[in-house]
Amino acid sequence: MDDYLKREAEEAIGFMPPEEGSALYKSGLMAADFGPLLEIGSFCGKSAIYLGAAAGEKGTVLFSVDHHKGSEEHQPGEEYFDERLVDPATGKIDTLPIFQKTIIKAGLENSVVAVLGDSAEVAARWNRRLGLVLIDGGHSDEAAAADYEGWAPHIRVGGFLLIHDVFESPADGGQAPWKIYRRAVDSEKFLEVDSVGSLKILRRAAG
Ligand code: SAH
Ligand code: MG
């Protein structure tokens, strides 16, 4: 991956360690042969740089879905609250301006398409097969299940399903991503091909 983009990704606000980011980029390159890439959870654009870099190299795009209001854990008083994300006019979280700046500074405007809205609402109306879906949105059981149920059917055979923040032990993190990871593997529609940190990399099986 281009050194400048790697540095931009590492400096962006967010939750994607470099090793996992590098795995996103590599998966993105392979997945682009099957269709466009899509992520749930744009936040401030960190994962979008890794996937957008791959999309750009392969002449496709990354759709990056977020309502930009933050997840439960980003709200005031919660564990991952960050004052920089607050819109002073409303006092509420708004990550859209930061996301946009991150993508423009990285020079990825032509490779990353922002989709502003609720993930389940967008998924229900989506009508295009995808080469890759990264689930990294809300971490409640309801949000994670809705993301899996809404987006997994749009992945082309051979395409990739990536799930972030998968922790087997509750001591290491919330269990919602783990539950959808188990559902995906147990369904036999997805085969695990790799795992880097808390990132699980699965591929859509035939049939
Ligand atoms: N991928 C990011 C981190 C994502 S944090 C990175 O690399 O840093 C999770 C994001 O999911 C938040 O920005 C939050 O606004 C978004 N989100 C949570 N629930 C959502 C929903 N139902 N629809 C759309 N976005 C949602
Ligand atoms: Mg995450």
pLDDT digits (tens, 9 = 90+) for 109-141: 999 999 999 999 999 999 999 999 999 999 999
Query: If you count them, how many residues does the chain have?
Result: 207
pLDDT digits (tens, 9 = 90+) for 28-73: 999 999 999 999 999 999 999 999 999 999 999 999 999 999 999 9
Q: How confident is the model at residue 190 (pLDDT cuts 50, 70, 90)?
A: very high
* Residue 44 confidence (pLDDT): 98
Q: Look up 68 and say whether it is catalytic.
A: no
Sheet holding 130-135, edge to edge: 112-116, 62-66, 37-40, 130-135, 155-163, 199-204, 190-196
Q: What's the mean pLDDT when you consider all of the chain? A: 97
% of the chain beyond a pLDDT of 70 = 100
* Residue 207 confidence (pLDDT): 72
In testing the pocket of ligand 1, which one of 43, 81, 125 has its CB within 8 Å of the most ligand atoms? 43
Average pLDDT value for residue range 181-202: 98
The pTM (predicted TM-score) of the whole model is 0.98
Distance from Cα 139 to the centre of ligand 1, integer Å: 9
* Residue 55 confidence (pLDDT): 98
* Residue 129 confidence (pLDDT): 98
Distance from Cα 207 to the centre of ligand 1, integer Å: 31
Residue 187, pLDDT > 80, answer yes
